[in-house]
Amino acid sequence: MNGEPEVHEEFEARLKAYEGRPAAATGVGRDPVNEPMIRHWCEAMGDTSPAYTGPDAIAPPTMLQAWTMAGLTRRPERTAAYDELLRLLDESGYDAVVATDCEQEYPRPLRPGDEITFNSVIESVSGLKTTKLGPGHFVTTRTDIRAGGELAGTHRFRILKYSPAHRPKDPTPGPAKEPRPRPVINRDNAGFWEGVARHELLIQRCTGCGDLRFPWLPGCNSCGCPEWDTVEASGEGTVYSYVVMHHPPFPAFEPPYAVGLIELAEGVRIVSNVVGVPYDKVRIGMPVRLEFRRYDDALVLPVFQGVTR
């Protein structure tokens, strides 16, 4: 990368020229909006809202992207413009990539039987940004989803194409340790992570119907109320389900290790590491107790200590 201001201004102008160009070919939903997919989604998410069943059912708004997915055997073709943009960034040294966030808007509900069409454009390419991962550019694509020609939803997906920052080597012998990945913090879950920093595990509580929910959401799945407060979890729970991670290896983790779906005493579930017991001793129904672990100067995470009898 050339750090001279004039050169970088010229480079950023080249990046900006891609804004507004198609990112993927116009697509057609593989399936119409349908009740079986809605039912499976609701079961997986634990969403029991009556709005998603019955003769006047609508699809959960957050299913928006599901109707555009091509499946494992068919992939929508990216445009030459999008490939050129990524190649330009790669050749300029911004050859690492990480997904950072997505945003969705729902102008109108989708209903069973709706036929979906969608198109994707390169909405924006940011100027040079300095991040903890390294300097880079954010690339945002916008996908507009239509039903019967009417805009039904917008999905914005943002990645960071960056040049990895040089990190000081660990003075101790052996390979240097990579930092633990950072959680994606947004306006909907910022309060949860603020609680974690204080060693509090906060659960949202709807002030309309009193239902508890996790993960944090902007509104209640049961009654639709947007108002909420929080309760602090007691920290007691059990292993509802778990997996043992062997592969693929990640630099910040040392496999094998157990990742559990923990059912808290309050009735909600959270995904986290099960620690303090050998990975092959973790069992469904095992009691666990919350603890907070500091992984570096800036990162504290909730984990669950297995309780053996």
- The tens place of each residue's pLDDT in the chain, 309 residues long, gives 445 555 678 999 999 999 999 998 778 888 999 999 999 999 888 888 999 999 999 999 999 999 988 765 555 567 899 999 999 999 999 998 888 889 999 999 999 999 999 999 999 999 999 988 889 999 999 999 999 889 999 999 999 999 987 644 444 444 446 788 888 888 899 999 999 999 999 999 999 999 999 999 998 988 889 999 999 999 999 999 999 998 767 778 888 999 999 999 999 999 999 999 999 999 999 999 999 999 888 899 999 999 876
Q: Check the CA dihedral 268-272-277-281 and report its sign.
A: positive
Q: Report the distance separating Cα 116 and Cα 146, nearest Å.
A: 6
7: left (phi over 0), alpha (psi -120 to 50) or beta: alpha
At 293, which helix (H) or strand (E)? Answer: strand 287-296
CA dist 36 and 201 (Å) reads: 34
- Going by the DSSP 8-state scheme, the letter that residue 258 receives in this structure is E
Query: Dihedrals φ, ψ of 140, to 5°?
Result: -115, 125
Rg of the chain's alpha carbons, rounded to an integer?
A: 22
